[in-house]
Structure formats: C-alpha cells, structure tokens
Structure 1
Amino acid sequence: MQKNIIDELSWRGLIKNKVSGIENQLKKPTTMYIGFDPTSDSLHLGSLLPLIILIHFQKMGHKSLVLIGGATGFIGDPSGRKDNRIFLSQEILQKNTESIKNQILRLLKFHSEKIELLNNLDWIQNVSFLEFIRDIGKYFTVNYMISKDSVKKRINDEKNGISFTEFSYSLIQGYDFLYLNQMKNCLLQIGGSDQWGNITTGIELIRKRTGKKAYGFTFPLITKSNGIKFGKSEKGENIWLDKNKTSPYKFYQFWINISDFEIEKYIKIYTFFSKEKIDQLIIQHRKNPNKRFLQKKLAHEITKWVHGNEISEKIIKITHILFDKKNEILQFLNEETLISIYNHIPHMVLSYEEFEKGIFLLDLLKKSGFFYSKSEASRALKANSIYLNKILIKENFLLQKNNIIGKKYILLQFGKKEFFIIKIE
C-alpha cells in the first residue's frame, strides 16, 4: 500500500465523519463492509459512491464485504426519513436482492478478487426475537437509542412518529457489524452520512460484547436539486443504474447538465483519475467552461462504467447529432443511426394510416405525450420553443411526407434539451 487510503478519500471529498484512530488501522490490510437494502430492484447514482470507495480499498490491498440486507430490508432504515416505510413482501425483496446482486457483480467485475457478497438474512433468520432482545438489546439504553438523530427527529414528530419496527433497525444493523466482526474479522463499516448513528451503534456493540476496537466512516450524500437524497425508496425521480428505469441517454445527460459549480467536486468523487490529472482537467475546463469539457469527460467515464463502452459511444454520437445546430445533419443519417436514436430517447410509434389521414403538429405533440395538453403545446409554440427536425416552428400546420426523416422518423424538440422521436410505420 503506497499511500494512506484516508488521505486519498479525503482530497476527493469522500469522507464526512470518521472514527478516531482509523488512519493507523488502515496502514495495514483491513476487512471493511458496505451494505445495501433491497428496497428497490435497482441501485441509483448515489449507490455508486460506496462502490467507488470499495474499489479504492481494493486497489490499496484491503478486503471488502458487500452486504445485501435481505433481513433489514423487511424493516426499513428510518435514517433521513420523515415517515414510516411501506413494508415489502418477501417475494419482492428476494427479487430485488437478486437484481441488486447482479448489478453489483457487473459493476465490480474487474475488482472481484477480494470481494465477498453476503446476505444478512442468512444469519438473522436464525436468531429468535427473545434471543435478540436479551443478548443484544441489553447493551443499549433507550436513552442511547433516542439520542440518535434518525430517531430523535422522528420521535418528536407528533404526526408520523416512529414505529418500534424502525426503532429497532439500528440494533439489527449493529448486530450485522458484530457478526461480520466475529465471523470475517471485519473492522470497518462505511455508509452515507445518514448512517453515522447506525455505524456507531455497531462499533459500540462490538466494544461492549468483545472488547475489540472497530471503526467506521461516512461519505457525503449526493442530493437532487431539491436537496433530497437519491434513494431507492425516496419519492420523486431518481437516476437509476438500470437502463430500463433510466435510459442510458438520460443517464448521460444528467452528468452533462451538472453545473460548473458542482462538476469540479463530482470529477473527484466519481472517477479514479489521479490528483495530478484531475488538476490538469480542471485547468483545461476553466479556460472555456461553455464547452463543458469536465461534464463530457465525467459523463463518458461513468456511462462507460455503468452501461458499457459500446452504449457509451452510441450515446455520445446521439448527443452530438441532437445538439448539432445544423438541421442538415439529419438528412445524412443512416437507418442504423436513426434506430439507435429511437431506442435511446423518448419515442412512440404512429401508424402510417393515421399519418396519411392528416395530423396537425399540435395534435401530434399532445398524442405523443411530449406535452400534457394541446394548450400547453400551443403556449410552447407561441414562445418559439418547438423544433421539428431541428427547424424552429412558429405555427401549427399539417404534417407532410417531406417532414419525415429517412422515410419513417420525425424528430421533435422542446427548448434546448428535450427531444422526442416518432416512428411512422
């Protein structure tokens, strides 16, 4: 190990809180673990952070355990939540577990030699309720439990409160750490900053039960524009790693649209480039921020990792075509490229028979779902925000055959960034 992992993660902005003494422990090979509860059938972009940290650990000679919470998923973590979770059935949790497991294995395929994948259901299902509250519950006072931020915020909420089920979550996660400490000599747990209370519960349990020193640290949470964290069971839109939930094109565009203020932070967090290379990239970006050099670099790297190099290259080509201001570019596209655009951006099929009968632009905009209503589409038209095949349209009109690209496609655009393609067949 050539350098201290804490120093490496710190300059990247990947450490929020840490237990004292962790630097000395990590000077020698250490087994660490990260956990994922299967509350959805896919991970999201916030889930990449613990996997990125895990890869950093792998590169520096440490061993990693990845824990899927087949048991804790039954309960639901109250951390960072304002209300009780909706419980999932065992069947759904099992399906989600397999899906997340496959995602993790794919994302870590080049770093799997020292990674072990586990499911906490394998050991927790064998512990009876009476055993647990006697052998584990005795180590923690109620005062200690309600002092945790995740519990304190909810316990003072008269409307929602916190159920005993969620109240017990921290103890079960703490038990996971104890089990892994005893069975796998695991000395370190990492998680998002909202997991600090759960991590310290496990550290305290190990100390009281075994007398051994354990460690933990957290990384900052990645949040949406409204300040809410990305999460598998959070309400609102997430950026998922599953291409069927978030298309690779939309995934790529998320990174392209990151602000200049945030991109210098994200290029450190989400890539494995050295400090020297990142400093050079930032200098190059600052010379002409309008070219979005850093955004393109990050978008390519992370899309390649999550969706593969072939799809990433296709998305870059599609993006170039869609954002090229010259409408003539569309006339030279072959069928393969048009199909690729159709497969990667929002789309619909319009029957040739319906097109032949005659359809006006506003009706098509409404029918496609690109706009919720004709009145909404009409306002966009009057605001000079609608383009058809890259040509600005200023009034409603009846579409003709000369509006079709490659004999079967029509490309719609709203503003600078929203696209929709229609296939006529």
Structure 2
Amino acid sequence: MGIMEDENIRQACMIIALQELRDSLEDNPDSTTIPPIRQPRRELGESGAQYIHRLLTETPTECQIQLRLDRHMFVQLVNLMIERDLLHDAKYVKVAEQVGICLYILAKGVSYRDASDKFKHSISTICKYFNQVLEALVILSFDIIRPHRDLSEVPPEVANNTKYRPYFKDAIGALDGTLIDAIVSDTNGVPFRDRHGRKSWNVLACCSFDRIYTFINVGWEGSVHDTTVWKDSLGDPKFNFPHPPPGKFYLADSAYPNTLGYMTPFFGGVRIHMPDFRILPPRGLKEHFNKLHSSLKMKMECSFGQLKKMWRILHNMPQVSQKIQMSIIIATCTLHNFIRMHKLGIPIIQHDASIGVADSTMYAQWRKKSMAKVRHRIARRIWRANRSESDNVGDDNDYQDDSEDDENEDHMEVDG
C-alpha cells in the first residue's frame, strides 16, 4: 500500500513540473528559439595575469609576502622553468601565472576553489597548472636538493666560529626527521598515526649548516621509527645519499645510533637539548658536550621551522593523492633551497643523475666503537675548555668515569 502511494506522489510531482514548464513556454514563446549564451565565469575583479603583474611591478615587498619569493627570485624561477623546458606558455595562462598559482597555493595553504577566486580561472584549470608546476619543481629538486660544496672541506659556519671550530671541524651537517601532515582515509590511516595520534609523513632530511637541504627521503608513514627511514636512505643506492667522507660525520639526535659518520649526543640521566639548559647551565662532561652539539644541530631545527612557517600547505595538506602529497613536500623543500641559494649566491648547476652507493654496515660494532672514541675525545676537549673552579667533585667523577669508559672501549676495539 505504501509503495503505491509513493508512486502516485511521484507521478503527481512530475505532472505539476511539466505543467509549470508549459506555462513558462507559453509566456515566452521566443525563448526556445534563442540559443543560450554562455556567460564568463567571472566578469569583475583583477585577473590572475593582472595580479601577478601587480606583484612584480608595484609594491616591492608584496610579491614576497604573497608568494614567499621576492620579485628577482620569482623572475629567476620562471626563467629557469623556461630554460629547462619544464613549463610552456598556454593560450590564456603564461608561465609566470602558472608558477604564481602554484606558489600561492603552497604559501597560503588555500584550496583550489580559493585560488580559483583569486586568479579568475576554473577549478580544473587551477588544478592542472598546480600539478604541472609541482612536477617541474620535483624535477628541479635533483639539481637543487644536494650538497653544493665539497663534503671534505670544513664548513665556513664552523671554520669561522671559534665556538665550534676546535671541536666540530669534521661535522658536515645535521640529520634529522620531521612529521608533516598527511591526508589518508581512516581505513588506510593506521600506519600513518604518529606518536601524537595524528596522520603524518615521516620525512628524513640532511641539512648543511647554511640551512640548505642536501637530502630528503619522503614517503614513509608517521608511525615508522626514524632509524627505519635512515637505514632505508643509506641502504638503497637509488636515493644517492650523500655519505660523509672518511673522518667526517653528521650531527644527529638520540633517535639514531652513534656510529661512524653519525654523531649523537649522550643520553641517559643527562640533559640533551638546548631548551634544557635555559635555567641551569650544563654540569659535567656529557652535558657540556650535549649543549654544544645541540647548539650546532639547531641549524636543522631552524630549517624545519622555517620550511613549515613559510609554506602553510604543510600544515593544511589538501585532499589529494599520496603521490601529490609527496610531491608537495619535495616542492616546498626545493623552493626553500632555491631561496637560500639565491640569497647566498649559489648557482643552480644541472648535473647528471647518478646511482649512489649503499651503506649496509651502519650498525656494525666496530663502527659504533670507533665513533664512541671520537665523541669522547671531543667531549673531553669541550670539558677541559669549560671547566672552572666552581665545578664540584661530582663533575670530576663524571670526567673520570668517562675516561675509564673510553679506555675500556679502546681495549674492546683492540680485542675485537
């Protein structure tokens, strides 16, 4: 009975709709003969091309505020895209506007619809050029995200600083991981849940002391431990990881093993990070070392902080495929390096991609023992330079205990 009533109601609604349509045609007999005129999507307001032109010609700082690149950087990036044959002018959207669309979305973290309102193009057009510029930036990353100086040389940030030069002249940079928001379905999101309960990507990066990324590994879920990403980066030749030369090392935090080529702080009953020393000064050999180690490694933290602050899309990832999300992370790191290189006067040189060398002995005991000796040696030098009459007996015991541990490690290495 209920089914029949629903059918009767549906037929009655259809009859009413047809009657209203017939009445409207009778009132406007010519409406069927006049073809509909397609109106432009928007008629008023500044077009995207006019917006980019205004940023480049009027207020000097407006381009940097809106797109994060000043006028000279923006023009250099556009010319680089054209010279490398990565982007081409379209009929209605030139390369400069294409790049502007992508930078606007990355900088502001806005949706395609918001960018559509700003640049006066359809959402599909905005999406098309955003993805094309992303792809171009990923290609550029092979020439931009890499070491730009000889790793066997002492970095000028260390060589010209008496605070670090006596102890960390063999440090070539810092290595660390960071979490960046990920958008995945709840069904597939369990592996992406990090220690804070949020869905994220675990990104590993190496950074020189001038805050230029020399390596990134993107694609691991947030629940994965940092050492897993690190081991994957070193062990797979396709990543072309910039391994430290013999006698050189990266600074890393306590999440990584203290092994040859990677120096971590002391942990276990001692303070590790710079904020820990704000109230009370360091005490003992290990804490003096940790403070200086953390102070130099802060270059890495500053790079991550600057990256996330400048490109707001990393805090507001759009609902796009995982591949595009990874491209967004690579693109923002590429732009970060592009800005730093422009400021430091480092040219962007095109080089042939090469296959790196795998390192599968990072957990070997002989490497850990060798690096422990190097770390203790540096810690003793820092300790001697910072010792004063105010240090108490407990600190002296700390020094003696570490010396004994160092001697024991020397014997272990000989016995091995």
Report the TM-score when normalising by structure 1: 0.26
Q: Which has the larger radius of gyration?
A: 2
Report the TM-score when normalising by structure 2: 0.27
